Each structure stands twice: as structure tokens, then as C-alpha cells.
Structure 1
Amino acid sequence: MENKPSPPQPVSELIYPLDANPPFGVTVLAAVQHILAMIIGVMTPPLIVANAFGAPADAVAYLVSISLFFAGASIIVQVSRPFGIGSGMLNVQATSFAFPATLISIGMAFMQTQGMTWDETLCTLFGVCFVGSFWLTLGAYAIVYLRKIITHTVAGVTVLMIGVSLVKVGAVDLGGGFASMKAGTYGNLSNLLLGGIVILSVVFVNRLKNPIFRMCSLVLGMGMGFLAAIIMGKVDWSILTSPRSYFMVPVPFKFGFFGFDWEAFGICSFIFLVLIIEAIGDITATASVSEQPTRGSVYRSRLKGGILCGGVFSALAAVFGGFPQITFAQNNGVIQLSGVASRKVGRFCGVLFMLFAIFPVVVVIFELLPRPVLGGALVVLFGTIATSGIRILAENGVNRRESIVIATAIGVGLVSMLTPDIFANMPQFFKIFFYSPVVSGGVTAMIVHQILPKPPIVAEEDEEDEAEAHPIQEMYIKELREEER
């Protein structure tokens, strides 16, 4: 009787897998690629929130530095997984774009109706975010149940509305920013030309065949815009000589002790639930490109630890003046293209971010950027976020039931964004609710999804799914099970 040849074993596509120790040069190169892929995303949320409230330059610089600092610290914890906190993979983490539009809407309502100053507004929002971060901690233990409420359709609509609502923020900078509105230069041809140069540069860089250039297209586009601004004489070099601190130390309750508002907490609670869905997608993608299980108990253990890390660092960041954090998605492309999934790279990336925060050279460079240059980059960035929402919706298919959910939710969200004044006579809670197109659209999707007849429920994943794992993954299964015990 002939012996049948055994099937060929899958070959790893990774050059340096999870526990590999790549040479120093490779580590630096991979870490720099991760930083370039996320640096704009890390610095932008605190920047646009603080500018919307009229915070002074030194406060903006501190908020950006804190965002960098806690991004670095949380990345180190994500990859190292102490006490089961973190995914144990090269997951990067920073302030989520799910929050700026909602925080700006709530904060502007505070300033208009309660007469709060910018620092009082920030303290109230930090207090709300500190309490809200415990939703992430609870959500880490209740992932299965939450996914029945916040489905892919709800998540897709929410992400779409995040991008659409933030494009307006980018457009303000594209025209010259709030300062140019006061100076009467808003929308000048020179401003629009600078923003247009950035947008076109990003498009042309994405035509290149080199994948590393494409990943850094936003940074390169801003570089081209900055060069154009220098030629046009629109860079304010006096920023370099203005008095400032070139050493940043995180300070607890920097702008004052926490405030709190129950209505704002109710609004933000939904966003924290959306962050859980966002993290599930990000961690699943990282597991896939890192050749780790994407189902079964090991996979769920990584999900739990990754979301838990988001909750812990969201609470810590609020104490020191930072906004809520969760995993980032764009770095999965860096892992796939570079073939480097090593935890060592993640730790190195985290250390670099913390150094950027403590010695805020990067923040100074960011301040030199004319507002139209930043605005051009933001319009593309936020448009990309909206596209991610469309992709989430398309992945599940859009049947008649889902089309009604999506249409109703987007309609309500756009009403909130385009004509918020029609809700001026409503009670305060509903006024804040409808001021945020992200929350109004997302919650509408969630409600309509529960009202319409549901399709048959798909059975949950079984523990036996682990048997289908890649052979390279099997060595981690025993390790994580022992860690959970």
C-alpha cells in the first residue's frame, strides 16, 4: 500500500515574525515606516479639538505632546502584554478619530450655552472621557454581546459619518483657518492653491510603484506643500524664536481638575462602544498579517487584552490631558509590506514616540505648517476615513434591509451636520445629541437595525477553529492559555 505524500506545509510570508529579533538597522527602518504611517493621525485629533475651542499655542503644543507620549507608552504595553493587558502583537495605539467631531460639537455647545472658557471645556471633556474609558474595560469582557448590538452596518455608518463630519474641519484649515477668518483672508486663492498642491501631491505619490512611498504619501504631500509655502513666503519663521519650552513633562490635571456632564457622558458612551468595534477590526487584521489565529480562544484573548489596553490608557491619558485611545489600522499595511511583525519593532516605535513628546521638535515642525497645507492633508485623511466606512458597509453586502438602515442613519446624520439649528428648541440632551452627526447617525443605525426583522443568527465561532491555525501560530497557543490561567 502506497503512502500518500503529506500535504505541503504553508510557508511563512514574514521575514521577522512576532518573537524575532531583527538587526538594529532593520528595526529602525521598520519603526520609522510605522511612525510615518501614523504620525499625522496621532497629532491631528488634539490639534483640531484644541484649535476649535480657541486654546492658546502653548496649550495646543502640550496636548499634541501628550498624545505622542501616551501613544508611545501604550504601544509598548500593547506589544509586551504585561498582566494580560495588550494584544501581544505589533498593534499601535493612539487617539481615535471617532472622538474629535463629537467632542467639538459638545464643547461648542458648552461654550455657547454655559459660557465655559476653553480650559473649562477641556476639563469637562476630560472628566467625561475618564469615566467613559471604563466602557472599554467592561467591553473587553463583553465583546460577543456588544457585537450583536453594534453590527458591521452600525460600525460602517458611524465610521462614514466620522469621515464626512471631519472633512468640514479640514476644509476650514484649507481656507486658512479661524485666524484668517478674523483677518479677512479666508478662502484666498493662495490658501486654496497651497491646499490643492498638497492634495495633488498625495494623488501623484500614490501613482508610484514603490509601496513605501505610497504609505508615506500624506507626509510627502505635506512636505511638497510646505516647500511651496516657503517659496510663496507663507511660513511664519518667528515661531522658531518665540519663547517656548523644549522639554515637556506630563502634568496631572494640567488645565484644572475634572468637570463632568451627564448629558455629554451619554453622548460619548456610544462612541466608546464604537471604539470596541474599531479595535476588533484592527486587532483581527494585525493577527491575520502576523500569522496569528483569527478565531478561537487565543484570538479572543488577544482581543480582550488589546481593548483592555485601550481602556487603561484612555483613563491615564485623561488625567494628564489626553483624549481616548484605541488601536490604529493603517499600520497593518506596514507589517504586510515589510514582512516585519516583531514585537521589538513595536517597542522601538513606542520609545521614539515618547522621545518626540518629551523633546517636542516634531510639534514645532507641525506649528510651522501653514493652515492650508495642513487643511489639504486633512481633507484627504478624513476622506479616507469616510471611505473606510463605505468599505465596511460593502464587505457585508447591502441588501434591502441594510439599505434602509444605512439610508435612514445617513439622512439623520446629514441633517445634524448641515442644519443643526433646527434642533435649537429641543431639550439640552437632545440638542447635544443632534449636534453630533456621528452620534445621531450611529445611534439611528443601531435603533433601526433592531426594529427591522433580523436575518437568521450565525452561530458563534467554535473552539475547534484553532485546529485550522497556521503551524507557525501553534507555538503561541499554549503560551497564551497558560498566561490566561
Structure 2
Amino acid sequence: MNIHANHSESQPAPADDLVFALEDKPKPAIALLAAIQHLLAIIVPIVTPGLLICQALGVSARDTNMIVSMSLVISGIATYVQCRRFGPLGAGLLIVQGTSFNFVGPLIAGGVLMVKQGTPVEAVMAAIFGVVIAGSFIEMGLSRVLPFVKKFITPLVTGIVVLMIGLTLIKVGLISMGGGFGAMQSGTFANGENLLLSGTVLGLIIVLNRIPVVWVRSAAIIIALGAGYALAAALGRLDFAGVHQAAWFEVPTPLHFGIDFSWTLFAPMVVIYLVTSLEAIGDITATSKISREPVEGPVWMERVKGGVLVNGVNSLLAGIFNTFPSSVFAQNNGIIQLTGVASRHVGVYIAAVLVLLGLFPTIAGVIQAVPEPVLGGAVIVMFGAVAASGINILAGLQLDRRALLIISISLALGLGVSQVPEFVSHMPNFLKNVLESGVATGGLSAVFLNWLLPETQEPKPVH
């Protein structure tokens, strides 16, 4: 993720090195080919968060199918709005938006706890989607006051929180590699077959990333998952219950689970919505830069505000239509650089394909058939990449004693609470609800210390 890009250019550079610039309109066949290249890089990250959360909470095959389908539809709608731009909505760039990994850890942790306490799964999902809807207004509000928020949520704070998200997600990834929560209950966790499936996928991703062919590297995850899918079929591990229970075509149903709310689930989401908004600033800025558009000034600020606003509006839609928050995808920038296609009109094709895939639930059913260890072999790489992007943000700063102290205390408290949640068990409920999430504890510590400790000089990106 390019969370905080360099804002040193105020004028667009020549677009000579772009095959299709922002406003160019490729012929339909070429636009569709470019769209497919984007889809190869984004389809797995879009559907994976929903699959992981549903598998962890024990959501039924039919409901999982619907949630995965809606993640595709909602991602398509957001991508369309980001690219086309409608009034204040959208960045007007070739931006792909999809389900965010940032929310996976806290939603699984909070949801699993509610299930263990005896709350029916349907009621847990109603609370999750109520929290998603409530949190979306944070992003919508932030989009209007971005300059003010950036004074408090600095690159130092963002780097710490992104690193915390990645480190806490790695546990989720390892559980998936071993077979998931279901395997833990059945006594098959991390058995030979599960490790064979996850290890094959992980090994292939590593090998494919060493091949000097650009399209192979960019599609490494989807190729490896395809191989894992085939191996799972040979082992008789594919479960097509989702396909059998799915309709051929299904119109989205709002509030399928009803709506509820949980402060325990909501507290960590506040910090993550804040950080996701700032990630969007960096990703939109990076897209502007590689599209040869301004990366500072009024045009850039309007693009950023419009992009973050769509993050919030689309997360609202996601909650209403039974899926999880979405955000701007950083992978998109790599594809633009590889292909030289920065035309926002290509985004319309990407959006159309995503919506069509989501409206035919049998497709989600085929995706859902993949065993969790196969998925685990891929997500461990993705989650590690989240942590690495946090390190990358911090590495781009001049880290003085003050910054190192903030990093040390925030990581220690955040990771400590995530490993020993009993530490907050005797605190008042309103504090416990907030601090029992490691991401929230680490993030709030970073924000507070960054405000409290005087600084001699603002940490600057290293050029």
C-alpha cells in the first residue's frame, strides 16, 4: 500500500508513457482486456474477507453465498462511482474498490466471542452489519474535514495502526492454513492434509513471484489458488453445498439478517475507519501520480475528498446489503503501472463484470467450495503484506527518539492486549469494550502519545 505518497508535484506530468491516459476511451475489446487484468489482481482480495469471517463464525452455506455475492456487487458499484464521479462522490480516477481486510480481525474476534457466549449466528451478523452502517458515517464525516484529521492521524500513527492490523491478522491467517475454527473443533487442525493444501498454495505463490513474466507475477495468487482448488478436488475436499443451495440469479435483499448494534464490536472499528480513510488518501494520491494528474492543490483535494466519501457511502451500502466495509484497493496502482492503462472508462467495464459476477450466486458458490486451508495459503501472504506496508510507512519517516518511543509503547500495549485480553477484564465496561481489541489499544495509544509528547521536528518522509 502506498499510504502516504509524495506530494511534491503540483502539475500533471506528460502522459507520454501511458498507453491510455485518464480521459482516453479504449475500444470495447481493449477496455475489456484491461478490465480482466485488473480483475485477476483484485477478485481474490474482494471475496476473501467475507469467506474468512463467515467460516470463522459458522454462517450457513446459503448465507455465506449471499454475503460473498454482495461483496462483488458492492465493490462493482463503488468502482463505478469512483471512476465516473457524480458531484462530490468519487475521485474521477481509475480506482478499484473492494472489501477491506482491515476489519477482518476485529470482526472475527468480536463475532466469535458473541457466538461462544450463546448469541445466535444470525443475531451476530445483524450486530456486525449494524456496526458497519454506523461506522460508515465516520468516513463520510471525515471526508469533509480531512485537513483537520491529518493533524492528529499522522503518517507515524497510520504506520503503527496498519502494522498492528497486519500483525493481528497473521493469527487469522495461520488458523486458516491449519483448517480454520471448524478444524479446531473436529480435531483435524493442522493435520497433514490441511498443511499439504495450504503449503502447496503458499509455495506456488513464492515460486510464481520469481518468474520474470509480468502477468504471471501479477496473477500469482489466483493461479496458486486454482492449483490448490484442483488439489482439493483430487482429495475430495470440495464442498458444493453453496452451489446446490444457490439460485441462478438473485436480486440483492436489504437487511437480510435484520439490524442490531454492539459497542464491543464498534469500538475497534472507529480506529480502523479512521485509518482506512487515511489509507485511501495515500492510494488515491498514488493513482493520481501514476495517472499524471495533480498530487496537491484543489483538484487533488477534491479527488481525495470524493474518494473517501465513496469509501463511507459504499460501506453504508455494504451494511444494508449484508456484506463488509470496502475501501480503495492499492493493488490497482500496480496494475496501472504494469499496463500503462489509466483510463477511468476502463473502470466501468471492471464495475460491470463485478456486479454481474455478484448477481449470479452460483459463481459465489463455486468460490465458496474452496477448503479453508487452500484460502489460508494465500491469505497468510496478503496479511503479511498488510504488516509490511505498515513497516514501509514507518521506514519512510525520520524516526527520532520520540517516534521510536511512540512505536514501542503502542505496539507493546496493542500486541499485549491481543495476546492477553484478560488484562482489561476488570476495567469498567465502557473502557473494556474499547481496549479489548489490540488494534484499538495500539491505535489509541499512538494517537494519544503523538498528541501528548512534544516534538522537536515533525517526522518527514525520506526522499
TM-score class, shorter-chain normalisation, is: over 0.9
Contact kept? 2:50, 2:71, Cα under 8 Å: yes
- Of the structure 1 ranges 259-268 and 325-334, higher mean CA displacement relative to structure 2 is found in 259-268
Change in 2 beyond 3 A, CA 1:282/1:243: same
The Cα shift of 1:84 comes to 2.4
Larger displacement relative to structure 2 (178-187 or 117-126): 178-187
1:170 aligns with 2:173: yes
- Larger-Rg structure: 1
In 2: Cα distance, 1:407 partner to 1:241 partner: 48
1:342 maps to what in 2?
343
Partner of 1:482: none
- Give 1:279 shift: 0.6
| Matched residue SS, 2:105 | helix
Match of 2:149 in 1: 146
Which of 208, 211, 215 matches 1:208?
Answer: 211
Residue 343 of structure 1 aligns to a residue whose secondary structure is coil
Q: Deviations over 1:142-163 (max 9, x none)?
A: 1111111111111111111111
Letter in 2 for 1:86: G
- Equivalent of residue 248 in structure 2, options 242, 246, 252: 246
Provide the C-alpha distance between the structure 2 equivalents of 1:315 and 1:286, rounded to a whole number of angstroms: 24
Measure how far apart 1:212 and its partner are. Answer: 1.5
Q: Specify the SS of the correspondent of 2:98.
A: strand
Counterpart CA distance in 1 for 2:351 and 2:222 is: 19
Match of 1:84 in 2: 88
Compared with structure 1, are the counterparts of its residues 398 and 345 closer, same or farther at alpha carbon in structure 2 (3 Å cutoff)?
same
Question: Which letter does structure 1 place at the counterpart of 2:352?
Answer: V
**Residue 291 and residue 238 in structure 1: after superposition, are their counterparts in 2 closer, same or farther (change >3 A)?**
closer
- How far apart, in 1, do the equivalents of 2:56 and 2:196 lie? 23
Instruction: Report the counterpart of residue 390 of structure 1 in structure 2.
Output: 391
Partner of 1:476: none
Q: Any conservation in 1 of the 2:76–2:351 contact (CA below 8 Å)?
A: yes
CA distance in 1, matches of 2:169, 2:411: 15
Report the CA distance shift for 1:109/1:228 in structure 2 as closer, same or farther (over 3 A).
closer
Aligned length: 448
Check the 8 A contact 2:232/2:238 in 1, yes or no. Answer: no
8 Å contact 1:45–1:100 — kept in the other structure?
yes
- Structure 2 residue aligned with 1:481: none
- Alpha-carbon distance, 1:412 to partner: 1.0
Check conservation: 2:74, 2:318, Cα contact below 8 A: yes
Q: CA deviation at 1:270?
A: 1.7
Alpha-carbon distance, 1:220 to partner: 1.2
Contact 2:38 2:335 in 1 (8 A): yes
Q: How does 1:29-68 map to 2 (within 5 A)?
A: 29-68=33-72
Superposed counterparts of 1:315-334, under 5 Å: 315-334=316-335
Partners of 1:198 and 1:225 within 8 A in 2: yes
Alignment partners' CA distance in 2, 1:396 and 1:69: 38
Indicate conservation of the 8 Å contact 1:93/1:328, yes or no: yes
Q: Share of identical aligned residues, percent?
A: 38
Residue correspondence of structure 1 range 326-475 to structure 2 within 5 A: 326-456=327-457
CA-atom RMSD in angstroms: 1.9
Output aligned runs, 1:110-189, within 5 Å.
110-113=114-117, 115-189=118-192
In 2: Cα distance, 1:248 partner to 1:376 partner: 31
Gaps of 5+ in 1: 1-8, 460-485
| TM-superposition CA deviations, 1:258-305 (whole Å, max 9, x none) | 212345434322221111101101100100111100000000010011
Spell out, residue by residue over 1:179-200, the C-alpha distance to the aligned partner (whole angstroms, 9 max, x if none): 2223221111121122111111
Equivalent residue number for residue 101 of structure 2:
97
Letter in 1 for 2:169: L
Contact 2:246 2:365 (C-alpha < 8 Å) held by counterparts? no
CA distance in 1, matches of 2:178, 2:113: 24
Query: TM-score normalised to the size of structure 2?
Result: 0.92
Q: 1:77 is paired with a residue of what secondary structure?
A: helix
- AA matched with 1:242: H
